A and B are shown apart, each in its own frame.
Chain A
Amino acid sequence: MRKLRTIFMMVILSLFFLVPVHASNTEYVRDDYGLLSSSETATLESLAKSVSQKYNVGVYIRVENDYTGYSSIQNYAEAVYADEQLGSSYNGNVVMFLITMEDRSYRLLTHGSTANAAFTDYGQKQIASDVVSYLKNDNYYDGFQKFVTDCDQYLKAQQAGTPVDTWIPDSSYDEAAHQQTMSYIRYGVTFAGAPLIALIVCLIIKAKNKTAGIKYEAQNYVPKNGVNVTGMQDIFLYRTETVTHINRDHGGGGGHFGGTSINSGGFSGTSGHF
């Protein structure tokens, strides 16, 4: 009996030690540099966790001193992803904003099919721009909060089937012709359309000077219930159908959406300084 109790206690203890290991993997916000207060960290942690669970994409924030031992912050960010097994909780879908304070660098990293679809190259640059505008002013808490709320919006857009992206015209798209067309429209509306509208307005005002005229109707002299409709026929004869092919091109010319550039490791991202 005592042996069984000992085994039971060992199992309980082993579980107790396992929990912190798992917790460290699912730590959404880690500030090794000490930029954030404990309450700020807790708030961001709660926010990031909420968004992560909502879309099944891990949203992480990491603050480090430097990336010594790695050739670039990009490599360092991928190493963090691997070392901390960030992808294990959400089928490899991760978006992480990592900064190193020594050289004031940042790396926005994404991994996994859902995350890479939601955070296109264009979208990544937009988010990075949003966050950096705060970091430049040493407003780290607001910057990271902006990162999490941006992630929420971008993931929501992706879920709706319309990820935030930009339209890139084909090389065949004739920008010069488009500009010329717009130029014609501009001159036409300005020098022909505007005078025409002005003339119509003036003629309407001028018509106020004419108030007399022969009457051709007598609606005022139809007594109540004076109209008696005795027959109404609406007979279907035949049906015609015309089919027009829809040009699904975006805008006036050909092209495609920017999409997401993914490296051989399945990562995508953008880097810079703040």
Chain B
Amino acid sequence: MAEQLTNYQCPNCKAPLHFDPSIQKLKCDSCGSEFTIEQITAAFEEKNREAVSIDDAKAQAKASATLQWTPEEAQHLRAYNCPSCGAQLVTDETTAATSCPYCGNPTVVPAQFAGSLKPDYIIPFHYKKEQAVDALKGFYKGKPFLPSAFSSENHIEEIKGLYVPFWLYDGDAMGNLQYHGTRMHTFSRGDDMVTVTEHYQIGRQGDVTFDKIPADASSTMPDELMDAIEPFDYNDIKNFELSYLPGFLANRYDVDSESDAQRADTRMKNTTIDSLRSTIIGYEGLIPQVENVSIQPGLVHYAFLPVWLLSTKYRGKNYLFALNGQTGKMVSDDLPVDWGKFFLTFIIIAVVIGAAAWFLIGMMA
């Protein structure tokens, strides 16, 4: 039987390979050999083709038969055999790269990248796991109201490097803005102060080009976190190769590009208005009358972008952190607040300002 998974093994010693962000190559855990993406892609091309040839429905049927899932549950599950140790892996239907829980070998599911499912681009990881952990410690600094115990007591429950599927939208937006603007100037005339207000009809038309606006294509990823870790640097974007995946997790998209398009359109519209409006200068007042923006959709690219996800637990509640695996920008869920610190700070500031105001106004009176 052909294998549905591909283990990227060292051509020299057959030990697992993983992508090392620091050298941007695949590295053998055992003998330390290093291989370029091109070398490994060429070496495993045939193996991946064979893996894709296995009927996806067959794997689904096997999962249903082997495991006692309901038909509805089985619809969303896939079962694979680990090519290294033969153990059976059960994953959800979107898993594209994972590791065997028994032997730890990084595995890739080539079928998840077959045909139209193949991403156009990938941005490789630049941040390693250790750097992600260090970034979390630095992230706590500059947050005075964070409970002291939060950083000292809580521990990382889980950390995983994940290639998150994103849709990247190109497009053009054409805007037509109309405003009522006012300019004011004041001068004195005898014992009178004269304020002259000039009223204008202001119009701006123009178009704005957008290149690869990202929107995450995974329903399991919180949109707030994925938006907040932007921007990604597209100067470093690569054509997709499976060889970038070993050592990281990956899911294929489960939100289609049409569903995400609204998010990109909203961003294009707002940015077009901001861009054209920024050319209106010299007015004290500006009242919008018309703000029409029409979007001309362009190409939609499918890309895997690198994200480190870290989860911690504090007083029974989970907190999720996301680190941009390319730039190192970290964001998080709303973190807890030490209300004792909050009110103490409030009282100190209020008393200092209040005392200063009491003294100064007393002197002026």
Q: Which of B60-68, B104-112, B240-248, B273-281 lines the interface with chain A?
A: B273-281
Bound Cα distance from A167 to B264, whole angstroms:
66
A195 and chain B: residue at smallest CB distance: B350
Q: Given the interface contacts A186-B361, A205-B144, does A219 sit within 8 Å of B349 by beta carbon?
A: no
Indicate if the CB atoms of A209 and B350 lie closer than 8 Å: no
A233 to chain B, nearest CB (A): 4
Contact with B along A191-228 (1 / 0, CB 8 A): 10111011101100110111111111111111100111
The binding surface of chain A is classed by DSSP as: mixed
Bound Cα distance from A122 to B71, whole angstroms:
102
Q: In the complex, which residues of chain A have a beta carbon less than 8 angstroms from the beta carbon of B45?
A: none
A173 to chain B, nearest CB (A): 15
Q: Given the interface contacts A209-B145, A215-B228, A233-B202, does A202 sit within 8 Å of B357 by beta carbon?
A: no
Bound Cα distance from A211 to B209, whole angstroms:
28
Most buried by A among B267, B268, B348: B267
Q: In the complex, which residues of chain A have a beta carbon less than 8 angstroms from the beta carbon of B333?
A: 212
Bound Cα distance from A226 to B171, whole angstroms:
11
Bound Cα distance from A133 to B15, whole angstroms:
97
Q: Given the interface contacts A217-B271, A219-B274, does A242 sit within 8 Å of B279 by beta carbon?
A: no
Pick from B145, B192, B225: contact of A206, CB below 8 A: B145
Q: In the complex, which residues of chain B have a beta carbon less than 8 angstroms from the beta carbon of A1?
A: none
The answer to whether the Cβ of B200 comes within 8 Å of any Cβ in the partner chain is yes
Pick from A198, A216, A222: contact of B353, CB below 8 A: A198
Bound Cα distance from A227 to B175, whole angstroms:
11
B215 and chain A: residue at smallest CB distance: A215
Q: In the complex, which residues of chain B have a beta carbon less than 8 angstroms from the beta carbon of A206?
A: 145, 337, 342
Most buried by A among B192, B194, B209: B209
Q: Which of A15-23, A76-84, A100-108, A177-185 lines the interface with chain B?
A: A177-185
Pick from B199, B206, B350: contact of A230, CB below 8 A: B206
Pick from B211, B271, B365: contact of A186, CB below 8 A: B365
The answer to whether the Cβ of A189 comes within 8 Å of any Cβ in the partner chain is yes
Q: In the complex, which residues of chain A have a beta carbon less than 8 angstroms from the beta carbon of B194?
A: 241-244
Q: In the complex, which residues of chain A have a beta carbon less than 8 angstroms from the beta carbon of B349?
A: 194, 197-198, 201-202
Pick from A194, A233, A241, A244: contact of B196, CB below 8 A: A241
Indicate if the CB atoms of B266 and A230 lie closer than 8 Å: no
Indicate if the CB atoms of B227 and A215 lie closer than 8 Å: yes
The answer to whether the Cβ of A161 comes within 8 Å of any Cβ in the partner chain is no
Indicate if the CB atoms of B210 and A226 lie closer than 8 Å: yes
Q: How many residues of A contact B (CB 8 A)?
A: 56
Indicate if the CB atoms of A214 and B227 lie closer than 8 Å: yes
B198 to chain A, nearest CB (A): 5
Pick from B204, B267, B357: contact of A231, CB below 8 A: B204
B333 to chain A, nearest CB (A): 6
Indicate if the CB atoms of A226 and B223 lie closer than 8 Å: no
Given contacts A230-B206, A230-B207, A232-B203, 13 further A-B contacts (CB under 8 A): A186-B361, A195-B354, A201-B349, A202-B345, A202-B349, A209-B335, A216-B266, A217-B271, A222-B210, A232-B204, A236-B198, A243-B193, A243-B194
Q: Which 10 A-B pairs have the closest CB atoms?
A: A231-B205, A194-B354, A182-B365, A198-B349, A198-B350, A233-B203, A218-B267, A229-B206, A194-B353, A212-B224
**Chain B residues in the interface with A (C-beta under 8 A):** 142-146, 181, 188-189, 191-213, 222-225, 227-228, 230-231, 264, 266-268, 270-271, 274-276, 279, 322, 330-337, 342, 345-351, 353-355, 357-358, 361-362, 364-365
**Chain A residues in the interface with B (C-beta under 8 A):** 179, 182-183, 185-186, 189-191, 193-195, 197-199, 201-202, 205-206, 208-223, 226-246, 248
